[in-house]
Chain A
Amino acid sequence: MDDNRQPDGIVLTEAQKRSRRQRSIAIALALVVLVALFFAVTMVKGPAVLVRPM
């Protein structure tokens, strides 16, 4: 067994891991805002949400 064997694939640095986590949180928040927005507008418009006049 070779203990010095390099792990396979790309290994992220701590800074890259931190950036990835921040990006994940930002995407999650953006999705939550989008869902909340669609829910709120559907509540406000009711069935008329399906009517989109030019």
Chain B
Amino acid sequence: MSLVIFTAMVGLFIAPGHVHPVIAFTSILCIAVGAGASGAMNMAYEADIDALMSRTANRPIPRGRVTPGEAMAFGLILAFFSVITLGVLVNLLAGALLAFTIFFYVVIYTIGLKRWTAQNIVIGGAAGALPPVVAWAAATGSLSMEPILLFLIIFFWTPPHFWALALFRSDDYARAGVPMLPVVAGPDATRLQILLYTIVLVAIAAAPWPLGYFSAVYGVTSLVLGAGMMWLAVDVYRHREGKPAARATRRLFAFSILYLFALFATLLLEVVVRAVMPFFFG
């Protein structure tokens, strides 16, 4: 949730032109509420498997504090108001994109893909990658290459992040019958996929530099951070047994969160520095 809000804020602030603070606040609030709505509906639909997994067993529905019906109603109401408010107060494109994001996460990912295919988080990752695109649309009323690059960075970041989690939680997923890649294809195939997706991720994350959207400062930072991701992905690939394997997957999972946060923080920082000290960037 915090990464959704942060990446959306970056999408909003790196967009060209001036956005009034009230419009910026409204946009981020609507995106955050939309994300919360998606989460509530996801938890309503997945209450049965959440109860079987240690990571999710303490959520409000498995604990009996909220019924699935209440969570679904709450999620639907929040989704309706977040989309309408963004569409009416900011612009229709942003509202439509937020509606599509919520639909994709709840219907395509949660209901359609999650229990059906090992590619669930690959395709479903599009929902998590859309918030900066929604925010960019809120700021500009249009779309261009930059938000698509932000989308691609998060899209290719999602598989290594969630498969690292799935590797050390594979018992949980197997018990719940969720066909995550380590459960279906085995841990070794998952390690290879993590490595391949990480290579693509590092290349795409650096792309805004050669494409001319961001400076060498961003490019070099993304490559240094990418080297960290690569190092840990190789570590996951090499260590396949016992404690070293478990430690490697946990380290990759933890670092991947820091990686995405730092990458987007660098984008934000560069835009701020460019605004404050334009002579540095010509």
* A52 CA / B94 CA spacing, docked (Å): 11
Q: Is A34 located at the chain interface by the 8 A CB criterion?
A: yes
Interface residue tally for chain B (C-beta within 8 Å): 14
Kindly list chain B residues whose C-beta atoms are within 8 Å of the C-beta of A34. Answer: 81, 85
Contact A44 B20 (CB under 8 A): yes
Interface residue tally for chain A (C-beta within 8 Å): 12
* A54 CA / B85 CA spacing, docked (Å): 15
* A37 CA / B141 CA spacing, docked (Å): 20
Kindly list chain A residues whose C-beta atoms are within 8 Å of the C-beta of B29. Answer: 37
* A45 CA / B23 CA spacing, docked (Å): 9
* A37 CA / B20 CA spacing, docked (Å): 13
Q: Could you tell me the distance in whole angstroms from the C-beta of B256 to the nearest C-beta in chain A?
A: 34
Kindly list chain B residues whose C-beta atoms are within 8 Å of the C-beta of A38. Answer: 89
Q: Is A41 located at the chain interface by the 8 A CB criterion?
A: yes
* A54 CA / B141 CA spacing, docked (Å): 6
Restricting to A1-54, which residues have a CB under 8 Å from any CB of B? 34, 37-38, 40-41, 43-45, 49, 52-54
Q: Could you tell me the distance in whole angstroms from the C-beta of B209 to the nearest C-beta in chain A?
A: 31
B residues within 8 Å of A by Cβ?
Answer: 20, 22-23, 26, 29, 81, 85, 87-89, 91-93, 141
A residues within 8 Å of B by Cβ?
Answer: 34, 37-38, 40-41, 43-45, 49, 52-54
Return 18 A-B CB contacts under 8 Å, by A number.
A34-B81, A34-B85, A38-B89, A40-B22, A40-B26, A41-B22, A41-B26, A41-B89, A43-B22, A44-B20, A44-B22, A45-B23, A49-B89, A52-B91, A52-B92, A53-B141, A54-B92, A54-B141
